Copies of this chain bind each other. A is one copy, B any other.
Amino acid sequence: MAKIAIVYFSGYGHTKKQAEAVLAGAAGVSGASAGVVAINAEGLIAEEDWAALAAADAIIFGSPTYMGGPAWQFKRFADASSKPWFSQLWKDKIAGGFTNSATMNGDKASTIQYFMTFAMQHSMIWLGTGLMPSNSKAATRNDINYVGGFSGALAVSPSDSSPDEGPLPGDLETAKLFGARIAGYAVKTRG
């Protein structure tokens, strides 16, 4: 079985919903098993979580976009990963990323770009969404990849929405397809 680990931080629950959609997509792929690692409010994960990441074939990073980048809790996790980085323990693992914020753009691209840079420091192999955007006149807000991410999966939850209200089903379906893409590639390349 190819193992997929989704490591994410969620501040209010919206990104958690997105992470669960990525999980559902990954877990639904034949030959793949998937699990989540939730970074806590202090930016920490447990010792066994580090072991789970070390054992994974693919690691998917997730965080809301706060003030133009990943939440500090995600960054604290990233900084703590200097230990596996030092021995390049994650080298050649597959990587991907997703983010949620209140605004359509709102610098979500900056968060995804950080994830890519971070993955490259770990010598990982980066996959994007593999999804064409929905961008014709007939497009509607709830379409697959309407928000329009190539490098990673994007979701929008209005600033005053509860996690029950956002992200919308279309953004969650986008996340699910993204999870399936990562898992599918992990299965294919595991040999």
**A167 interface residue per 8 A CB criterion:** no
A17 interface contact, C-beta 8 A? no
When A72-B76, A116-B126 are in contact, do A108 and B105 touch as well, CB less than 8 Å? yes
Chain A positions 39-80 with a Cβ under 8 Å from a chain B Cβ: 43, 66-73, 75-76, 78-79
Contact B69 A72 (CB under 8 A): no
How many copies of this chain are found per oligomer?
A: 4
Kindly supply a per-residue 1/0 record for chain A positions 93-115, scoring 1 wherever the CB is within 8 Å of any chain B CB and 0 otherwise: 00000000011111111100110
Q: Which residues of A contact B (CB under 8 A)?
A: 43, 66-73, 75-76, 78-79, 81-82, 85, 88, 91-92, 102-110, 113-114, 116-118, 120-121, 123, 125-130, 132-133, 135-137, 139, 146-151, 154, 156, 158-161, 165, 185, 188-189, 191
